[in-house]
Amino acid sequence: MPAVDPQGSAPFTMGPALLFCPADRPERFGKAAARSDAVILDLEDAVAPDAKQLARGAILALVASEGQAAELDPSRTIVRVNAAGSEDFAKDLHCLAHTPYRTVMLAKAESAEQVRALGDYRVIALCETAKGILNAAEIAAEANVVALMWGAEDLIASMGGTSSRNNDGGYRAVAVHSRSTVLLAAKAHGKEAIDAVYVDIPDLDGLAAEAADAVASGFGAKACIHPNQVAAVRGAYAPSDEALGEARELLDAAAAAGTGVFQHKGKMVDGPILRHAEATLRRAGVHH
């Protein structure tokens, strides 16, 4: 398959709900793609070590079958590969060279050199180790990196911890710091940021609250591990009619005021507040 030019490629626009699917479960590929905004075929943690070759074979078999291949649009498909330098990583790349899939998620990304070696691919760098978090800014600066994602559970495990969350369900301080670090690094370099998965699958209310915080903070997407989570994430990213109305009203008031700073409903409004309103309209696909 011909390589793409990642440096000339469009920004990452998949989202807001990205759904992981084990790459050794080809019967789920089409369903996962249909139920999400983009599917992540997972060759890493979701696949047992003795099933990884089977998983790569499933992706190649998919490509060989025209009917099945049509179910996975390359523009909406991400392949999570194993950590750079591992034997499985090399085998993953050999597999992908024979496919049309050119957006990869690099598990346990830790350095700019690692993503630079993936020059033929658009890379989502998954920062989920202490080294990866500390190097997030230099990773985000690489031309072929289109997004950063962070991973709470692998991060805590890599440091010898036992849980990323407190008893009340909120993240521990180190996880909050890591989440913020990845978000800031991505945005500082004009790249998208993807929020980590929510592992408590039945707790859709908790997921909705966390996804709402991701939206408000600036994350462009959130990863899901179960199809039932997609609706909650999409709901968080879709502005309510009330929010859209308030954004339009504020921007109309700004146009009427014709000044840099003005009062609206007793509150001071300036440039950043107006950009918040514009972002709300953009999420709904509305131009003011």
List, for residues 88-107, the tens digit of each pLDDT value: 999 999 999 999 999 999 99
71 is in an annotated binding site: no
Question: What percent of the chain is predicted at pLDDT more than 90?
Answer: 74
d(Cα 182, Cα 139) in Å, to the nearest integer? 10
Please tell me whether 128 is known to bind a ligand. Answer: yes
Examine the pLDDT at 9 and tell me if it is beyond 80.
no
CATH number of the domain bearing residue 60 = 3.20.20.60
Structure-block tokens of residue 85: 């330098």
What was the pLDDT predicted at 178? 98
Same domain, 262 and 150: no
| Confidence (pLDDT) at 3 | 44
* pLDDT of res. 286: 60
Output the pLDDT for position 241: 67
Please indicate, yes or no, if residue 1 is contained in any of the structural domains. Answer: no
Total domain count for the chain?
2
Residue 111 Cα distances to 15, 86, 108, 193, angstroms: 25, 15, 10, 17
Q: Which domain holds residue 252?
A: 241-284
| C-beta neighbour count of 256 within 10 angstroms | 9
Q: How many angstroms separate the Cα of 225 from the Cα of each of 59, 215, 261, 263?
A: 19, 18, 44, 44
pLDDT exceeds cutoff 70 at 10: no
Return the structure tokens found at 79. Answer: 């392949």
Structure tokens at 43: 């060759």
Residue 1's pLDDT band, with cuts at 50, 70 and 90, is very low
**H/E segment holding residue 21:** strand 17-22
| Length of the chain as a residue count | 288
Same domain, 268 and 229: no
Above 80 in pLDDT, residue 191?
yes
Q: What is the DSSP string of 143-199?
A: TTEEEEEE-HHHHHHHTT-S-SB-TTSPBPHHHHHHHHHHHHHHHHTT-EEEEPP--
More confident residue, 181 or 248: 181
| Residue 12 counted as domain residue | no
The span from the CA of 268 to the CA of 264, in Å, is 6
Q: Is 45 annotated as a binding residue?
A: no
pLDDT of 69 above 80 = no
Shared-domain flag, residues 198 and 273: no
Query: Which is more confident, 176 or 5?
Result: 176
- The per-residue pLDDT for range 107-151, each reduced to its tens digit, is 999 999 999 999 999 999 999 999 999 999 999 999 999 999 999
Average pLDDT in the chain: 90
Torsional class of 195: left (φ above 0), alpha (ψ -120 to 50), beta (otherwise) = beta
Residue 44 DSSP code: S
- Check whether the bond before 11 is cis (ω within 30° of 0): no
Q: Are residues 152 and 252 in the same domain?
A: no
CA distances, 79 to each of 40, 112, 115 (Å): 5, 19, 14
pLDDT over threshold 50, residue 8: no
**Residue 131 falls inside a structural domain:** yes
pTM of the model: 0.86
Neighbouring C-alpha atoms within 13 Å toward the C-beta of 107: 21
Q: What is the pLDDT of residue 287?
A: 63
Q: What confidence score (pLDDT) does residue 2 get?
A: 39
C-alpha–C-alpha distance, residues 255 and 262, integer Å: 11
> Is 129 in the same domain as 268?
no
CA-based nearest residue to 155, from 139, 169, 134: 134
